[in-house]
């Protein structure tokens, strides 16, 4: 099977028919009107992946409050996913509520998720897809490093806030070391825009270090 490259930021998420622990789904159609986070993991019944699934489940309500669903995935059969879910429930007292894709390799191939040099295992990839089916963020981790789910949640919040308020988010938002919880006003694209920005700063509409670096309360 020829491996295809990963889709890029701004691309539409490719249409995929997938078998999951919650039945067959067609992505992104079945998520129409919702954001979703699709995250792949190397294999069931592995320690790092188990900690990740528990961490995602512990934040599931927070993701759903943002109109965002979670979807796991690995190249394991569905009965393996189900048994692993049972093990997590019985041993860690956490019930996994989101679907997990049982991939034959077709999904991993289409999304470019096979780890080079690691046989047929999938990497720890994260696709954040908006409510229009557009890929907004892609994160890519090696097998050895577990993900930070709070960062993934922050990324969804930040992109939704940026879309709604036409602004950019600083490093570590909403706890930036320079402008705290403020957001960044997109810089002007012309001389007239720069002059207008200076006037608005003098009028108190923005706080600015310079015309190209203005910020405001979120």
Q: Per-residue pLDDT tens for 175-186?
A: 999 999 999 998
SS3 state of residue 12 = strand
Nearest-CA neighbor of 84 among 113, 57, 112, 123?
57
- Averaged pLDDT score across all residues of the chain: 91
Question: What confidence category does residue 1 fall into, taking pLDDT thresholds of 50, 70 and 90?
Answer: very low
Residue 26: the pLDDT is 97
Q: Which two tokens stand for residue 80?
A: 């393996």
Residue bearing the bigger pLDDT, 104 or 148: 148
- The answer to whether the CB of 5 falls within 8 A of the CB of 112 is yes
Q: What is the mean pLDDT of residues 30-55?
A: 96
118 — pLDDT class (breaks 50, 70, 90): low
Q: Is the pLDDT of residue 74 over 60?
A: yes
Distance (Å, whole) CA 14 – CA 28: 7
| pLDDT of 218 | 81
Set out the domains of the chain in order of their start, with CATH numbers: 16-164 (3.40.30.10), 166-218 (3.30.1020.10)
Q: Tell me the whole-structure pTM to 2 decimals.
A: 0.91
For residue 28, the model assigns a pLDDT of 96
Lowest-confidence region among 28-32, 89-93, 191-195: 191-195
| Residue-level pLDDT at 3 | 46
What pLDDT is attached to residue 195?
86
Averaged pLDDT for residues 38-65: 96
The pLDDT of 10-26, averaged and rounded, is: 95
Q: Residue count of the chain, please give it.
A: 218
pLDDT at residue 112, as a whole number: 83
Residue 2: is its pLDDT beyond 50?
no
- For residue 17, the model assigns a pLDDT of 95
Residues designated as active site: 49
> Could you tell me the pLDDT band of residue 108, with boundaries at 50, 70 and 90?
confident
In percent, the amount of the chain with pLDDT more than 90 equals 71
Buried b (16+ CB within 10 A) or exposed e, 84-119: bbeebeeeeebebebbbbbbeeebbbbbebbbeeee
What tokens appear for 83 in the block? 């048994």
pLDDT score recorded for residue 205: 86
């Amino acid at each position: 099977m020829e491996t295809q490259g990963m889709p890029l930021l701004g691309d539409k998420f490719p249409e995929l028919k997938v078998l999951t622990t919650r039945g067959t789904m067609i992505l992104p159609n079945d998520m129409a009107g919702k954001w979703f986070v699709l995250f792949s993991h190397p294999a069931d019944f592995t320690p790092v992946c188990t900690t990740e699934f528990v961490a995602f489940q512990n934040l599931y309500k927070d993701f759903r409050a943002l109109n965002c669903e979670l979807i796991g995935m690995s190249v394991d059969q569905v009965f393996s996913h189900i048994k692993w879910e049972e093990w997590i429930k019985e041993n860690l007292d956490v019930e996994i509520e989101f679907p997990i894709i049982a991939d034959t390799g077709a999904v991993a191939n289409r999304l470019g998720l096979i780890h080079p040099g690691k046989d047929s295992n999938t990497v720890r990839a994260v696709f954040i897809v908006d409510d229009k089916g557009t890929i907004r963020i892609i994160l890519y981790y090696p097998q050895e490093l577990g993900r930070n789910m709070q960062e993934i949640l922050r990324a969804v919040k930040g992109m939704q806030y940026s879309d709604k308020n036409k602004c950019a988010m600083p490093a570590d938002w909403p706890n930036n070391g320079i402008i705290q919880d403020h957001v960044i006003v997109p810089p002007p694209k012309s001389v007239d825009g720069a002059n207008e920005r200076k006037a608005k700063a003098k009028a108190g509409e923005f706080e600015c270090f310079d015309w190209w670096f203005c910020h405001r309360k979120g």
